[in-house]
Structure 1
Amino acid sequence: MTSRHLIVHGTVQGVFYRDWTVAAARNRGVTGWVRNRQDGTVEARLEGEEDAVETLIAAMHEGPPSARVERIDQNEAQTDGFASFERI
């Protein structure tokens, strides 16, 4: 089990990036949350099997068609045992 904290930079608000992330995470069995930040970035916490989390992060670099991801800052995070993946 691994846990990551992400900050996604680029055109990621108003382009269904959070909803896309929820679906992508649930499809991979990753738990956690995603939310918009006031500075225009998107913040996420991901928990799951390492390969599932890495695959999701790779997909998040592309996101939905209207998104333009410039970069994703990521750090290891404490595992909190989330039950599902939610948009908050």
Structure 2
Amino acid sequence: MKHFDITVAGHVQGVFYRASTKAVADQLGVKGFVRNEPDGSVFIEAEGDAVSLSMFLDWCKEGPEHAEVISVRSDEGELKNYRNFEVLRKSR
């Protein structure tokens, strides 16, 4: 199991990026959360096996149909053992 902190920049708010991210995470068995950031980016904490996370990161670089992803930054972090994948409404 691995943990990634992922920041997605571009036109990624108001295009169902968070809802689509949850759907993809659920399909791949990735756990964690996604939330919009005040600067217009999307922040994701994702945990899963190496193969699932690799596919998840590939999807993050594309996003849903109307998204325009400019960059995806991912940093490996400490496992938090999330039980599911959630869409958070506000920054913590």
TM class, shorter-chain normalised? Answer: over 0.9
Alignment of 1:17-56 (within 5 A): 17-56=17-56
- Separation in structure 2 between the aligned mates of residue 77 and residue 32 of structure 1, nearest angstrom: 12
1:67 matched to 2:67? The reply is yes
What is the TM-score of this pair, normalised by structure 2? 0.94
Instruction: Give the fraction of aligned pairs with identical amino acids, expressed as a percent.
Output: 36
> What CA RMSD, in Å, does the superposition of the two structures yield over aligned residues?
0.4
> Matched residues in 2 for 1:74 and 1:28: separation?
18
Structure 1: which 5+ runs fail to align? none
Q: Return structure 1 stretches of 4+ with deviation > 4 angstroms.
A: none
Normalised by the length of structure 1, the TM-score is 0.98
Taking the aligned partners of 2:7 and 2:63, their CA distance within structure 1 comes to 14
Shift of 1:57: 0.5
* CA displacement at 1:60 relative to structure 2: 1.0
Cα distance per residue 1:15-68 (max 9 Å; x no partner): 000000000000000000000000000000000001101100101111110000
Confirm or deny that 1:8 pairs with 2:1.
no
1:86, distance to aligned residue in structure 2 (A): 0.3
Name the count of aligned residue pairs: 88
